[in-house]
Amino acid sequence: MSTSATPSVLFVCVHNAGRSQMGAAFLTRLGGDHVRVRSAGSAPADSVNPAVVEAMREVGIDISAETPKVLTVEAVQSSDVVITMGCGDACPYFPGKRYLDWQLDDPAGQGVAAVRPIRDEIERRIRRLLAELGIEASA
C-alpha cells in the first residue's frame, strides 16, 4: 500500500459495463472519502449494462451517468489495490500492488433478476474489503 492515508482501489473487468461499475459504486458509497475509487475495462463497452443500472437503482445507487473507461497502465500504477473481475491477463502487473481476482458471473446479456445476486455478492465483498483496509463502512 502507498504511504497515503487514503488507499486507492481500481476495479477492472473486460467491458467496464457491469461488475467493475457495481464494485466502484458500492465502494464509493460505503467508503466515502476514506478511499479513492476507479474502474476500467480492457475492452470498454459503449455504455453501462442497463440491467446493472436498474439493479443498482434498486439499492439506491444511481450509476446511469457512468461511462465505461479504458484501462491504462497509469491507473494500475497509481492504485494500491487492483480488483480484477474476469479480465484475464489483460491487466498489467506491477510488483508491490495488491491484486484480488473476484470470480463472479458476468451480467452481460442478463436480466435484472440474474444481476441481483451478482450485485449482492459484490456488496458483501466490498464490505469485507473495507474491513481489511480498516475503513468503517458508511450506510
**Which 3 state secondary structure label does DSSP give 76?**
helix
**Which stretches within 32-111 are classed as H helix?**
50-58, 73-77
Quick check: is 81 catalytic? no
Instruction: Clarify whether 87 is annotated catalytic.
Output: yes
Catalytic residue among 9, 10, 12, 13: 13
The one catalytic residue in 52, 91, 129, 130 is 91
Residues 6+ apart with CB under 8 A from 113: none
> Is 51 in a helix, a strand, or coil?
helix
Given 37, 76, 87, 118, which residue is catalytic? 87
- What does DSSP say about strands 81-84 and 36-41: parallel, antiparallel, or unpaired? unpaired
Residues with active-site annotation: 13, 87, 91
